[in-house]
């Protein structure tokens, strides 16, 4: 029996999936199959359609209830819903193209602008409310609307984030973050309306609004720079990568010096991290 080539055993152990360093090509997810990519794109379109429909209704109810109750918080919430419609429309426009990736940068810029507009309005509105000390009349309609939005928006945000992460779409992930901001605004509105109605703490809502506005500014800047980088969906869900993706004994490139678990040679040819799902484009 012939002796193994020098260093072959060590190389074979180092190239095994269990010992691959995080972030290396051996641990990178394989590229999406065309069929799976089409499924995810359709799902994104359905998600943004639902987001647009919900926020359109939400805006109408909030603006009407805010006018009746003289509530600046409700009016601001209605305007936030309009901003969310604009952001979701940008993603819908992107994914209506045969090649959505070609519109990624423009969609990110539109989302960034909507983030910054939202932050500017909420900041001014909250500051005026704090300075003026005006208290709105109780609004049962506003309380119900905020509670419903707090139940719907986080679910839409999570679904869009997971789908956008798997697809590797920075714009979808950025829009999911804006949807989450809307959910936090719903929580702030609900708490503010309840504290105002029950304890007379009229300042609770504008203070929470200022904190959320600061977060919206950060997200807007990141979206403008294209830093809405996604992470592997397994990191969000806790799922492990399918073992079927690991190389099997006897497979092409398995145990071959200079080949890693993806079948790429030492020169780095093969699947790159940039094309893997979850990477920023």
How does pLDDT run along the chain (281 residues), one tens digit per residue?
444 444 444 444 444 444 444 444 344 456 778 888 888 888 988 998 988 999 999 999 999 998 888 777 788 788 888 888 888 888 888 888 877 778 888 888 888 888 888 888 888 888 888 887 666 677 889 899 999 999 999 999 999 999 889 888 888 888 888 788 888 888 888 888 888 778 878 787 778 778 778 877 887 888 788 655 433 333 333 344 444 444 444 444 444 444 444 444 444 444 434 333 334 44
Query: Alpha-carbon distance 190 to 264, whole Å?
Result: 54
Tell whether 259 is covered by a domain: no
- 112 is a domain residue: yes
Q: How far apart are CA 241 and CA 186, in angstroms?
A: 35
In whole angstroms, give the CA distance from residue 92 to residue 111.
12
In three-state form (DSSP H/G/I as H, E/B as E, the rest C), the secondary structure along 42-78 is HHHHHHHHHHHHHHHHHHHHHHHHHHHHCCHHHHHHH
Pick the closest to residue 60 from 96, 85, 94, 24 (CA basis).
85
pLDDT, residue 227, reads 57
- pLDDT, residue 56, reads 94
For residues 17 and 261, the answer to whether their CB atoms sit within 8 Å is yes
Q: Does 8 reside within a domain?
A: no
Domain boundaries, position 121: 34-230
Per the structure, how many domains does the chain have? 1
**Distance between CA 166 and CA 160 in Å, rounded?**
10
Measured distance CA(120)–CA(65) in Å, rounded: 22
Tokens representing 25 are: 């090509």
Asked, for residue 93, whether it belongs to a domain, the answer is yes
Within a domain: 105: yes
Residue 24, in any domain of the structure: no
pLDDT of residue 158: 92
- Domain membership of residue 251 (yes or no) is no
Q: Which two tokens stand for residue 237?
A: 């869900």
* Domain annotation covers residue 23: no
pTM higher than 0.75? no
| CB of 263 closer than 8 Å to CB of 253 | yes
Convert the chain into a string of H (helix), E (strand) and C (coil): CCCCCCCHHHHHHHCCHHHCCCCCHHHCCCCCCHHHHHHHHHHHHHHHHHHHHHHHHHHHHHHHHHHHHCCHHHHHHHHHHHHHHHHHHHHHHHHCCCCHHHHHHHHHHHHHHHHHHHHHHHHHHHHHHHHHCCCCCCCHHHHHHHHHHHHHHHHHHHHHHHHHHHHCCHHHHHHHHHHHHHHHHHHHHHHHHHHHHHHCCCCHHHHHHHHHHHHHHHHHHHHHHCCCCCCCHHHHHCCCCCHHHCCCCCCCCCCCCCCCCCCCCCCCCCCCHHHCCCCCC
What radius of gyration, in Å, describes the C-alpha atoms of the chain? Answer: 24
């Amino acid at each position: 029996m012939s002796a193994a080539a020098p260093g072959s055993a060590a190389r074979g152990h180092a190239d095994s999936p269990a010992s691959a360093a995080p972030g290396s090509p051996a641990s990178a997810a394989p590229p999406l199959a065309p069929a799976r990519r089409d499924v995810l794109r359709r799902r994104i379109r359905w998600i943004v359609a639902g987001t647009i429909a919900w926020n359109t209704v939400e805006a109408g109810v909030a603006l009407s209830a805010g006018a009746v109750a003289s509530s600046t918080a409700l009016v601001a919430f209605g305007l936030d819903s309009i901003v969310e419609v604009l952001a979701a429309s940008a993603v819908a426009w992107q994914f209506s193209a045969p090649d959505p990736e070609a519109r990624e940068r423009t969609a990110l810029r539109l989302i960034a602008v909507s983030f910054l507009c939202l932050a500017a309005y909420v900041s001014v509105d909250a500051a005026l409310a704090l300075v003026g000390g005006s208290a709105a009349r109780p609004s049962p309609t506003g309380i119900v609307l905020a509670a419903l939005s707090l139940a719907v928006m986080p679910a839409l945000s999570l679904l869009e984030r997971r789908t956008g992460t798997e697809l590797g779409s920075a714009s979808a992930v950025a829009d999911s973050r804006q949807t989450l901001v809307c959910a936090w605004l719903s929580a702030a509105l609900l708490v503010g309306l309840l504290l105002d109605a029950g304890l007379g703490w009229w300042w609770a809502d504008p203070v929470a609004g200022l904190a959320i506005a600061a977060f919206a500014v950060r997200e807007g800047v990141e979206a403008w720079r294209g830093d809405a980088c996604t992470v592997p969906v397994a990191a969000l869900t806790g799922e492990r990568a399918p073992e079927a993706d690991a190389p099997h004994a006897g497979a092409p490139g398995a145990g071959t010096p200079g080949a890693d678990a993806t079948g790429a040679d030492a020169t780095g040819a093969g699947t790159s991290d940039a094309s893997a799902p979850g990477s920023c484009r």
